[in-house]
């Protein structure tokens, strides 16, 4: 019997995605859990695995189509087998979400669903049962830990095996996911070379570039943008980093300045929680968690903003480790959709390319974004108790806060930025 391939729910709040590339052509064989189609969701490419072994009988949704979770994408079966619905009308119909499907399902519909077994059953699961749809996250965990899925009881819809089911199984057998091996401290990223284009060339828009364009335009049309700029003396941060980067390196962590800006943002967001909010038609929604996005350049491809979840619960070491990990996997295109979702505040370091000032665009639906200018030594006038006003060389940077004037007034924005800078200038 032919098995349908369903568009999965790739993240907690990711209800649709764009098919960017079919990895198999109709008529080609595919193994169970082998990557079948590549889907882009919010700048993240995810490979959707095949739910069964067999032949790709029919592709129902062409590349470049955006579909919702629950949409039928293709049929998998045995050579010569006919899908249950294979007419052109059915194929066109399948490119739309099923009318009976919920608008935002909590789990992707299962394929060839099996009954939900008793949670405490000691009976070994039958090996001939259908495993149903396996999400990309579950497939990756299975591969990393050598798990036999037939040993796991699924608690998801129709007996589907969820990430939590795999974690519970690993914990029960005494092999919970081990901490990732600490990589060597990465070398500073090389400066990208200027792209070379032919005169008169028409550059086709990639899905990522289209999403960036749409998001930036929507943000400027949605929120009245205002930017306030202050400068920070980073002398104490520089001294702290110099004194601690070797110890961090022994833990496999590269202590970058970005970690300090994230930590200082956490302190300021705690002091002024209104900045950790979003504008809605019902009112201003204050967010219970502090989830800080850090913009990462992908070179000519654009940029992406992975999110450090619950940043307020992390030490400087934890923040630095998260920054290293997310940035490295962002550049390697290894992020999963949930890792670019749920941000409540964003930091973009435009200074890495030498920029002193910038007015970044707000990352909707957040209400503010911090822009960090180039860190450089320059002469400044300081007041000395004994010498009076003197000129000294200090390590300085301009920090700009672009904010949604519907949510924040200039005074609150300035208080917030001043608190952030004070945290940096008094670092100990």
Q: What is the DSSP string of 40-72?
A: EETTEEEEEEPSSSEEEEEE-S-TT-EEETT-E
**Residue 251 annotated to the active site:** no
* pTM of the predicted structure, to 2 decimals: 0.66
As a whole number, mean pLDDT of residues 148-169 equals 73
Q: What is the crossing angle of helices 235-250 and 410-425, to 10°?
A: 60
Residue 188 has pLDDT above 80, yes or no: no
**Residue 287 annotated to the active site:** no
- Per-residue pLDDT tens for 100-115? 333 333 333 333 333 3
As a whole number, mean pLDDT of residues 139-149 equals 72
CB 308 within 8 A of CB 338: no
How far is it, in rounded angstroms, from Cα 302 to Cα 137? 25
Who contacts 142 (Cβ-Cβ below 8 Å, separation ≥6)?
Answer: 33, 134, 149, 166
Lowest average pLDDT, out of 94-103, 151-160, 261-270, goes to 94-103
Selecting among 148, 251, 300, 409, the annotated active-site residue is 409
State the pLDDT at residue 338: 85
- Burial classification of residue 98, based on how many CB atoms lie within 10 Å of its CB (0-12 exposed, 13-18 middle, 19 or more buried): middle
Domains along the chain with CATH numbers: 3-172 (2.40.50.100), 207-425 (3.30.559.10)
As a whole number, mean pLDDT of residues 210-216 equals 82
Q: CA 237, 296, 246 angle in degrees (round to 5)?
A: 35
Selecting among 240, 405, 414, 422, the annotated active-site residue is 405
Residue 34 has pLDDT above 60, yes or no: yes
């Amino acid at each position: 019997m032919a098995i349908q391939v369903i568009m999965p729910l790739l993240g907690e709040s990711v209800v649709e995605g764009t098919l960017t590339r079919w990895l198999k052509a109709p008529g080609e064989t595919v193994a169970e859990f082998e990557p079948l189609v590549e889907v882009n969701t919010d700048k993240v490419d995810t490979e959707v695995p095949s739910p069964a072994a067999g032949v790709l009988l029919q592709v129902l949704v062409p590349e470049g189509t955006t579909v919702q979770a629950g949409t039928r994408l293709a049929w998998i079966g045995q050579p010569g087998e006919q899908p249950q619905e294979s007419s052109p009308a059915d194929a066109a119909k399948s490119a739309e979400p099923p009318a009976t499907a919920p608008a935002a399902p909590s789990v992707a519909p299962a394929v060839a669903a099996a009954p939900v077994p008793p949670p405490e059953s000691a009976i070994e699961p039958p090996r001939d049962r259908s495993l149903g749809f396996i999400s990309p996250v579950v497939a990756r965990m299975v591969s990393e830990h050598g798990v036999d899925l037939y040993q796991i009881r699924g608690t998801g819809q129709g007996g589907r095996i969820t990430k939590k089911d795999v974690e519970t199984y690993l914990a029960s057998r005494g092999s919970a996911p081990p901490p990732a091996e600490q990589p060597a401290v990465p070398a500073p990223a090389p400066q990208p070379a200027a792209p070379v284009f032919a005169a008169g060339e028409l550059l086709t828009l990639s899905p990522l570039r289209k999403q960036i364009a749409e998001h930036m335009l929507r943000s400027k049309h949605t929120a009245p943008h205002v930017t306030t700029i202050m400068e920070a003396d980073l002398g104490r941060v520089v001294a702290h980093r110099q004194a601690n980067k070797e110890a961090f390196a022994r833990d496999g962590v590269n202590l970058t300045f970005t970690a300090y800006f994230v930590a200082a943002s956490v302190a300021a967001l705690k002091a002024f929680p209104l900045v950790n909010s979003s504008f809605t038609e019902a009112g201003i929604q204050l967010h219970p968690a502090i989830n800080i996005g850090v913009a990462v350049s992908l070179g000519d491809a654009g940029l992406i903003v992975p999110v450090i979840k619950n940043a307020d619960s992390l030490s400087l070491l934890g923040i630095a480790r998260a920054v290293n990990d997310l940035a490295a996997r962002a550049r390697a295109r290894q992020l999963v959709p949930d890792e670019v979702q749920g941000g409540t505040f964003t930091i973009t370091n435009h200074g890495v390319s030498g920029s002193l000032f910038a007015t970044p665009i707000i990352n909707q639906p957040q209400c503010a974004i911090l822009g960090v200018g180039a860190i450089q030594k320059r002469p400044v006038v300081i007041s000395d108790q004994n010498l009076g006003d003197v000129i000294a060389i200090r390590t300085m940077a301009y920090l700009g806060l672009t904010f949604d004037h519907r949510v924040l007034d200039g005074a609150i924005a300035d208080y917030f930025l001043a608190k952030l800078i004070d945290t940096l200038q008094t670092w100990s």
